[in-house]
Amino acid sequence: MKTWIYHLGEKVEIFIPFLGYCRPPSRRCCQTCTPISWGRFYHQQLSSLGFRDVIRVTEEDTRYRGWLVRRVCGFLAVWDWEVPADTPRDLPSRICCSKRVRDVTTGRSRGSSGDSGSHWPWKEEILKILAEIQAPLSLLMLRLCNWALLKLLNCLFLNVQLHRGQLEMVLRASKMPDVPLVFLSTHKSPLDGLLLSFLLFSQGLGVPRVTVGGQACSSHLRALLSRLGGIFLPLRMGQMPSNQDEGLPGAVLDVYIEEVLKSQQPLLIFLEEPSVTQHLSAPAREWLALVYRAVRDGAVPDVLLVPMGIAYDIAPGALCREEAHGAEPLGLGTCLWAACQAMRRNFGCVRVDFAQPFSLQEFVAKNLVRQSCLGNPLEEPLLPTIRGTCPSQLDKKKAVVWGPGLATAASLEAEEEILVTKLGLHCLSDGVSCSAVMAVAITSVLLLHKHWEGVVFSRLMKDFAWLVEEILSGQHDVGFSGQVRVLVQHSLILLKAHITCYHLSPIGDIVVVPKASAEALSELSHHSAAILPIFAHEAVGACAIRALLVEMLPFLKVPVSLFSIVISRDELHRKTLELLRLLPLNLLGLQPCQPLDYQTQDVIDKLLVCGLLESEELESEHWGKGQAWARLDFSDSDSDSDSDSKVPRCFFKLSEPQGSPGFLFFLWRLLSPVLRTYTRALAFLDRPSWPQPEAAYVEALLQFLAEEDSVKYPNRSLALSSLQAFKEMGVLEEVQTPAGPLLHLAQPFHSSVNRGKLEAFIQQFLEPWQPLSCQ
């Protein structure tokens, strides 16, 4: 950060990274899963091409010039946008004549002789199913709605930024013959579908077919979205009790996706639901499975997958209320009323990012080879560590990935199910990693986890600048630039409903205090969630250090300086590994293809890089500090004693990073909402009557969390993360019954003693330790 002095004498603080040559490069694809794609379409100079505001349409974007053109340039520009590809006009006949559909209709036509007359009743049924999935694009309606959307976006947002280098990278990928693009995006707002469709259409990538998730829509809204490019799962697929009954809708949907990909139309799939971030949704698994089967069956030679990230200062309708999960469908009038209400407030800025495209064919081949070579390795179970027992058959039931529910598993084979889930989680991790961090997220996390009791504006500016530099040094981008004072003021204006500002007239400063209400806490926590994936490794390592310090308390003299304590690398590795086994990797935004041992090593490396740890060589005169630690060095066997005497052990000393005061405490608090939710979810286990369906368990857990925290709308993502963790550890078991899958509480956890052990295990990463002083 530099301070420039204008000729008027005013000091203006400007970040050096925003001058153009220090901005982090675009997100690369995974070199482990897609090494060939890692070197394609990507060039280092693409990161220096700058940005463009896609909703700022000027006279230069049209073929015409003049005074009148400047006033209607938006309409003229939208009218000139081209539609490179569309579904073929004979799509219904192609679907009816496809082999897969004919096989299903022939099998269900008992006594059919195979003549054309016997297939006529099925043709009407096929056309009806196709009408539920999509409708032909209406170019007139498409252009009028995009023009109206352009006006709406200009009213809602200050700008919608898109990196020119990332766009150039995707445009290069779109020129590959016979290889369609499939965009896989994070999902932060109900407006995302219209916004991303507008963005891709305006940048010459075509009109995408946008998949619609589980939100129920009225018939009028469904018809409008279908004419604009929206596609839906058939209404009967989620309602049929068996695979046989949904065979025809499934076959029609399979052939339809194949025809969309053959026609080179871009396909947009949302990987998560707006109210449940960083969790792969069931509709996303279904759409990804359809794309995978199209490549597997040879309908298209390959598909280029483009992960996308979208970041808002304030996302319209981001905190979806519980009413959104009800049975009442979303109507056209409700959407228009919500748009009118949204125009009354400012939502700040938006940033859309593209990660590097990669080949689906390569990803599948690489993962199938790794799975065949390694088999199906299971991580070492966590429950024996918690309960202090040997591993049992019950503890070894932890899945490698969190599989889909029964509705998806019934339509996928086991190998395909695991592969599609891995693909979805991997792309979701890429989308989260490439997303820029907005100013409101940075201000919210500082107010929530560092200055909950209040902070003066000048100190908030310094911490804002410090956190931005930490984000940029970690190769993550931010979605803003400019003066520090203006950026912090911009954030506080957008958060004004949840903070209180007091003017200090003697010193001319302002005190910013978050409101002590459940609504303010929920809002700040929602915005702060974007910071956790950026500092996930550091936060996990900090909580592992905290657990070690809690273990060391009985052996330390009080008071003791925090930064004079020496810890062992082996014990830090062990604690970090335990915490990573507890937390789902998708919650932390980490790539699922990396083994936990590698993730643990990355955690320790990040702690060294950021300055929280320093290597320490213990000499003979320093063993006074190491004696307490020797008591905590538990060995699995005595056979390693000889090797330990020959190979010197590695020790670390805690340190305070220069320019980052309180960084360790900040990282502890960053992961505390997750761990607190886990402890409350554990306390909830003795309430419900077992067994019960998963959906009923989730709703009852959310109600319990709302009562405990006095929050009207608890965090659904964290509640589902606790469910995922308990299922993977074996605390909860899913048993298939004729009525559907039911959750059972595992037999060992019927005992309050074992539940207490699990609670103590979680609390060691969360409990405050008062005797230590921060000196």
Summarize pLDDT for 142-181 with one digit per residue, the tens: 999 999 999 999 999 999 999 998 999 999 999 998 899 9
Within 10 angstroms of residue 398's Cβ, the number of other Cβ atoms is: 16
Question: C-alpha angle 269/584/652, rounded to 5°?
Answer: 130
Beta partners for residue 692, in sequence order: 743
Residue corresponding to tokens 């993360």: 721
For position 767, what pLDDT does the model report? 60
Q: Is the pLDDT of residue 266 over 90?
A: yes
CA dihedral sign of residues 139, 141, 143, 145: negative
Q: What is the pLDDT of residues 499-550, one digit of tens each?
A: 999 988 777 789 999 998 888 888 899 999 999 999 999 999 999 999 998 8
Fold category of 436-527 in CATH: Arc Repressor Mutant, subunit A (1.10.10)
CA R_g for the chain:
28
Instruction: Give dist(CA 315, CA 318) in Å, integer.
Output: 5
Per-residue pLDDT tens over the stretch 640-676: 444 444 445 788 888 888 777 788 889 989 999 999 9
**304 and 267 in contact (C-beta within 8 Å)?**
no
| 391, pLDDT greater than 50 | no
Q: Does domain 672-763 have CATH number 3.40.1110.10?
A: no
Give me the amino acid identity at 479: G
> Does residue 379 have a pLDDT over 50?
no
445 neighbors 500 (Cβ within 8 angstroms): no
> Which residues, at least 6 apart from 56, have a Cβ–Cβ distance to it below 8 Å?
159
Q: Determine the Cα–Cα distance for residues 467 and 229; give it in Å rounded to an integer.
A: 40
What confidence score (pLDDT) does residue 775 get? 36
The pLDDT tens digits of the residues spanning 284-331 come to: 999 999 999 999 999 999 999 999 999 999 998 754 444 444 446 778
Q: Is 767 helix (H, G, I), strand (E, B) or coil?
A: coil
Which of 269-273, 348-352, 592-596 shows the lowest mean pLDDT across its residues? Answer: 592-596
The helix/strand/coil state of 704 is: helix
How far is residue 699's CA from residue 710's CA, in Å, rounded to a whole number?
16
Q: Say how far apart CA 709 and CA 698 lie, in whole Å.
A: 16
Give the residue range(s) of CATH 1.10.10.10 domains in the chain. Answer: 672-763
Distances from the Cα of 432 to the Cα of 123, 545, 704, angstroms: 43, 26, 29
Residue 10 DSSP code: -
- Residue 622, pLDDT score: 43
Torsions phi, psi of 275, nearest 5?
Answer: -85, -10
Residue 376 pLDDT class (50, 70, 90 cuts): very low
Q: What percent of the chain has pLDDT above 70?
A: 80
Q: Rounded to a whole number, what is the largest CA-CA distance in the chain?
A: 96
Mean pLDDT is highest, among 211-215, 416-420, 655-659, for: 416-420
pTM of the full structure: 0.87
Q: Is the pLDDT of residue 579 over 90?
A: yes
**What values do phi and psi take at 178, rounded to 5?**
60, 20
Q: Which helix (H) or strand (E) holds 601?
A: helix 596-609
Question: Which of 397-406, 617-626, 761-770 is least confident?
Answer: 397-406
Q: For 56-76, what is each residue's pLDDT tens digit? A: 988 888 888 887 788 888 888
Q: Whole-number mean pLDDT of the chain?
A: 81
- CB-neighbour burial class of residue 313 (10 A; exposed 0-12, middle 13-18, buried 19+): buried
* CA gap 609, 593 in Å, rounded: 23
Q: Which pLDDT belongs to residue 372?
A: 53
CA distances from residue 543 to 372, 444, 554, 610 in whole angstroms, order as listed:
36, 21, 19, 15
The predicted pLDDT at position 656 comes to: 82
